Chain A
Amino acid sequence: MDINSCYHCGASCGKSTILFDEKQFCCNGCKTVYEILSNNELGCYYDMQSTPGTIPSDIKGKYNYLENEDIIEKLLEFNDTETSVVEFFIPSIHCSSCIWILENLTKLNSGVTTSMVNFPKKTVRITFKNKATNLKQLAELMTSIGYEPYISLDDADAIKNKVDKTLIYQVTIAAFCFGNIMLLSFPEYFDANEFWLEKYKHVFRWLMFAMAIPVVFYSAKNYYISAYKGLSHKILNIDVPIALGVSVLFIRSTIEIAFDIGTGFFDSLAGLVFFLLLGKFFQQKTYNFLSFERDYKSYFPIAVTKLAGGIEKNIPVQDIENGDRLLIRNQELIPVDGILINGNASIDYSFVTGESMPVTKQSGDKLFAGGKQTEGAIEMEVINTISQSYLTQLWSNDVFNKTSDHTIKNITDTISKLFTINILTISFLGGLFWYFHNPSMVFNVVTAVLIIACPCALALSAPFAIGNILRIFGYRKFYLKNAETVENLAKIDTIIFDKTGTITSADKSNLIFRGESLGKEEIRVVKSVLRASNHPLSRTLYDHIQEEILTEKPTYFEEQLGKGIHAVLNTMDIKLGSASFVGATSSETNETAVHLAINNRFKGSYIFKNSYREGTKDVFEALSKKYKLVILSGDNDGEKEYLEKFLPKNTLFQFNQKPENKLEYIKKLQQNGGKVMMVGDGLNDAGALAQSNVGIVISENVNVFSPACDGILDAKFFNKLPKLLTISNKTMTIIKTSFILAFCYNVIGLYFALTGALTPIVAAILMPVSSISIVIFVTIMTNLISKRNI
């Protein structure tokens, strides 16, 4: 451990170390957490993992809304008059100490009966006694020890949906029946006309029949549904031949045992369904801790403070009405459009526009929903309710109401159309041939073709290949929503990047001073002057300068709108602002800068630089060879020249793009046949992300805050983007190759079927061999390409 690091959170303590109990802390917050824990005999929080904590945030008044009955009701999972159950999402859960402390909450608050952490989901479920404590106390307690629960409008609205476990049950039943049928059919594989076997074979056969029933009617039921849906949309999807195969297998086998013709194919039937479902199960990789469906509701606060006759009252945001007075505290999001009444509004609209600098507003100015107040508290009057606000209106756009029902044509379905038609033709021709040669064989041959052609291997290759790739991507912190995304990734030809937050990193702008070095006294004077200014750049600069301010006030102060500040302090004449205002000779226009002149002599400039992500240049260069690249930014074109030099020549630039402009831009590209991938980060890209063929969100912290999208990429791995795209392309090649392999198996199978030689044992061998070998092939190949490419 670093000598100078905080005992609680591990951050460097810097100069302001706080010593307590022979331990050092970086801030009072961390010290307080330590105090709380050690006073409650929870000191071994620190034994399990060194520096496990997180700095608690300031919460005064933040959770007052948890006293509102309506909100409480929405958040609680269970409530009788005695006890309640609530589940909180806590993004800062990260280690075993976190689990320990949260499960020992009862020591800190005796009203808590039990608390259970779900680590992968980062949630804690708390059962508490209503008499002893309440939601607000719990939220405040957790925040005070550094585990701030994340409560959003989304939670309150969510219909508590259960995890769908049907597939698990279906696989389990198929596996159970498959194993047992296999055992029961074993004696007859060897076809010895042995006495005892002859005598008991009917028992075995009817037992197999009984076991096959749940497989056919429960486990495989989704295939019939999907086949029916496909057919009613006039699409021959892969489930059509599967459903056909399964039904034919069942009917033929039943007829065989009913009329004592043979054993039937119940073993193959159960095996087939089991393997198919296994493929489905494998492909269904879900990331519990991620949400790909977030809309503005997850960003918005659940409640706001309403001012009514001087009394502060917490109301849910849905209940906001026109004309209400709202109090917005520092770092709170403005939930609705309104007019500023009083207070220093410095609104960060980066959620909405992507513009990283906060905007200053005067009282009487209009405030838009989605902005974040960054300085002190303000009062505003509501002019639009939540559903009518500017930001939320974006969500009424059609792209957000896409019905998930529309049948996506994936690679397997494309090929299955051809496949199904061919199989039906072959079985018809085979039947016709035998009709003239030996009519008693017709039923046998036609059903055998349909059975053996049941595209198990074909249906398995894509799920296993893509399922495996999803996992490999997951290890590389690239989380995709579903299997279709991998296929869509391979199809794109245009990539659109957002600028702020996507190719620039979010740790705000880099500030450097270029020019003559300033004396300490001069810097202090500059800071003192800045204090009086409300311009966003001044605020940022003020926060950036570390020196203490002077006690004196400027003797002269004038701020000219759009130009700068002129002030006199301690006989120093300070001019801060634009180049022309200050009288600077040279100025680079592609940078945001504040120029400084002291006593009419130009000293230098503070330059705000957006810091680009590591490897941005390489990413663009690698991608520009294959894709059309566009930068679509909500920012001004201040950095255009720099970006043009920095990035490959064929990159297109569009600045000052509002969210709906971005959406329209992508729509236009798609109308011209483009397949577009949007890479963005914030709410301002939400429309574009939804409209694009593949929407990828770059996220600094994958656990929180990302708009609805198809994939989330950890910002640290941004430079891997070209490689990830290459892998998706290669995966599709592998799937196509495995299709050829599957066809070979089908040709062999068809030979047996058409000659009338398909016995249960041939089917029982051929079917698993083909399926398993395909699965092995795609798994090995996908692992190979990902190893080679990352």
Chain B
Amino acid sequence: MEVLYITIGVSIIVALLFFYAFIRSVMSGQYEDTYTPSVRMLFDDELVIAKKNDEKEPNSNQESIKNN
């Protein structure tokens, strides 16, 4: 039954990893604005359509910013 030390050890490490991930997400401010990203997510499509219609060369710099 010495395997218990390993299983408990592993389970706690896994739990701690998730715990760390959560704390990091809070620190990085992910939960400060929960609304805007939900809207922003829908924009990229709109931008592509607009570009197709205008048939102008998309500025790759702007595109990458948009996707950030």
Give me the interface of A with B, judged by CB distance under 8 Å. 41-44, 47-48, 96, 99-100, 103-104, 106-107, 113-114, 116-121, 163, 165, 168-169, 172, 176, 180, 196, 199-200, 203, 207
Contact = CB atoms under 8 A, between A and B. Distances in A.
B43 A41 contact: no
Interface string B21-64: 01100110001111110011011001101110010100000100
B65 interface: yes
A44 B54 CA distance: 11
A41 B62 contact: no
17 contacts: A44-B46, A44-B50, A48-B46, A99-B36, A103-B43, A106-B62, A114-B65, A118-B32, A119-B33, A119-B36, A165-B26, A168-B26, A169-B23, A172-B26, A176-B15, A196-B1, A199-B1
Contacts of A207: 8, 12
B49 A103 contact: no
A119 B35 contact: yes
Interface of A is mostly: helix
Contacts of B54: 41
B22 A172 contact: yes
A172 B19 contact: yes
B6 interface: no
Contact of B1 (A43, A96, A106, A200): A200
B33 to A, nearest CB: 5
Of listed B34, B51, B54, B65, residue having the most chain A CB within 10 A: B65
A165 B5 contact: no
A191 to B, nearest CB: 19
B11 to A, nearest CB: 9
Contacts of B31: 168
Given A119-B39, A120-B33, 9 more contacts: A44-B47, A103-B43, A103-B66, A118-B36, A120-B35, A121-B33, A165-B26, A169-B23, A176-B15
Nearest to B35: A119
Nearest to B42: A96
Nearest to B15: A180
Contacts of A41: 50-51, 54, 56
Contacts of B39: 96, 99, 119
Contact of B49 (A42, A44, A196): A44
A200 B19 CA distance: 26
A150 to B, nearest CB: 19
A168 B32 CA distance: 12
A113 B26 contact: no
Of listed B31, B32, B39, residue having the most chain A CB within 10 A: B39
A780 to B, nearest CB: 26
A106 B67 CA distance: 13
Contact of A99 (B8, B40, B56, B62): B40
Contacts of A44: 46-47, 49-50
Contacts, number: 71
A200 B4 contact: yes
A163 B40 contact: no
Contact of A169 (B1, B26, B33): B26
Contacts of A163: 32
Contacts of A114: 65, 68
A120 B32 CA distance: 9
Contacts of B36: 99, 116-120
Contacts of B19: 172, 176
Contacts of B34: 120
A118 B30 CA distance: 12
Contacts of B56: 41
A239 B1 CA distance: 44
Contacts of A104: 47, 62, 66
Nearest to B49: A44
A106 B65 contact: yes
A172 B20 CA distance: 10
Contacts of A203: 4-5, 8
B5 to A, nearest CB: 7
Closest 8 CB pairs of A and B: A119-B36, A118-B33, A44-B50, A96-B39, A119-B35, A176-B19, A114-B65, A41-B54
B9 to A, nearest CB: 10
Contact of A47 (B5, B15, B26, B46): B46
Contacts of B23: 169, 172
Contacts of B42: 96
A418 to B, nearest CB: 39
A100 B33 contact: no
A42 B49 CA distance: 11
Contacts of A107: 62
B45 to A, nearest CB: 10
A203 B6 CA distance: 12
Nearest to B19: A176
A180 B1 CA distance: 21
Nearest to A121: B33
Given A119-B35, A120-B33, A196-B1, A100 B22 contact: no
A577 B25 CA distance: 68
B43 to A, nearest CB: 5
A107 B50 CA distance: 13
A684 B5 CA distance: 70
Contacts of A116: 36
A154 to B, nearest CB: 21
A41 B65 CA distance: 17
A103 B40 contact: yes
A106 B1 CA distance: 63
A100 B8 contact: no
Contacts of A103: 40, 43, 66
A113 B43 CA distance: 18
A787 to B, nearest CB: 26
A275 B68 CA distance: 38
Contacts of A120: 33-36
A90 to B, nearest CB: 13
B22 to A, nearest CB: 6
A37 to B, nearest CB: 11
Contacts of A42: 50
Nearest to B4: A200
A528 B11 CA distance: 87
Contacts of B32: 118, 163
Contact of B12 (A99, A172, A180): A180
Nearest to B51: A41
Contacts of A180: 12, 15
A307 B49 CA distance: 52
A168 B29 CA distance: 12
B40 A113 contact: no
A42 B42 CA distance: 16
